[in-house]
Amino acid sequence: MALNILLKLEKDLQKFPGIGQRLARKLAIYLLTRDKEENIKFIEDLKEIETKIFRCKECFALIESGKICGFCSNPYRENRILVLQNIEDYLLLSENKIFEGYYHILNGLISPLRGITPDMLSIDKLIDRIEKRKIVEIIFALPGTNDGIITTLYIKNQLKEKFPNLIFSKIAEGIPYGSGISEISIQTILTSLKNRENIQ
C-alpha cells in the first residue's frame, strides 16, 4: 500500500545533505504522522525563507532586511577581505567574531571535476569591492582540498593583474589544536615543520 505522498516526501528528503534512504523514510513517516500543528508551523517557517531572506549585495551573506548586511554597511571595519566558500563557514566565523574586516562568500569552489567554472562564483563582485573599499589584503580561508587550492590560485592570479599592490594570504596549514602528530598526514606535518613559529 505505498502512498504517493510518502514516496514524494522520501524523494524530497533524499536531496537533503546527510540524509540517506533509510533516514528519509523515517522522516517522511514522522512528517506524515506528527501533530498537524507542527507541520503548519514548519510550513510557515519554510514560507518565510522566500519572503524574509535575502543575500547581501556585497558579500552574499544572508540578511533579513535591506540590501547589505551589518558588516558591509559599516565603513569602519579593517580594509581586508576574508574569502570564504559558503554560508556555513561564514556563520561559523562571523558568530565567533574572530575577524575585524569584511567577509566575502564565493558560493562554491572552482571544480574542473564537477564542472564548476569561475563565472559561477561571486568573483566579479569581489573585484568591485576591492576598489570601492580600498582593500589592502585578501585572505583566503578556503578548504585545503584540490578545489580549494585551485580556487585560491585562480582568484589570486586574476586580482594580481588588476591590483599589483594588493597583499594575498591564506590561513595557516598546520596541526589543529589538540591533535597528536600521528593523527595528521605527513604533508601537513612537513608544512607545519617548515612554517614553525618561534617561541619567546
C-alpha span between 97 and 99 (Å, rounded): 6
How near is the Cβ of 59 to its own copies at its closest, in Å? 10
- Beta carbon of residue 161, minimum distance to its own copies (angstroms, whole number): 14
Among 119, 164, 165, 186, binds its own copies (CB under 8 A): 186
Q: Which of 9, 110, 123, 135 binds its own copies (CB under 8 A)?
A: 9
Residues 3, 5, 6, 10, Cα dihedral to 10° = 140
Q: Which of residues 82-111 bind its own copies (CB under 8 A)?
A: 82, 84-89, 91-96, 98-99
- Least Cβ distance, residue 153 to its own copies (angstroms): 8
Distance CA(6)–CA(24), nearest Å, equals: 10
Instruction: Give the Cα-Cα-Cα angle 49, 111, 185 (nearest 5 degrees).
Output: 105
Determine if 61 is a binding residue for its own copies (CB under 8 A).
yes
Least CB distance to its own copies at residue 137 (A): 9
Report the greatest alpha carbon distance in the chain.
72
Interface with its own copies, residue 150, by CB under 8 A: no
**Residues touching its own copies, count (CB under 8 A):** 100
Enter the C-alpha cell of residue 128. 568591485
33: closest CA among 59, 14, 5? 5
**Closest separation between CB of residue 71 and its own copies, Å?**
7
Structure letter (DSSP) for residue 144 = S
12 binds its own copies (CB under 8 A): yes
Residues 112-131 vs its own copies: string with x where CB under 8 A?
--------------------
Residue 168 bridge partners (DSSP)? 138
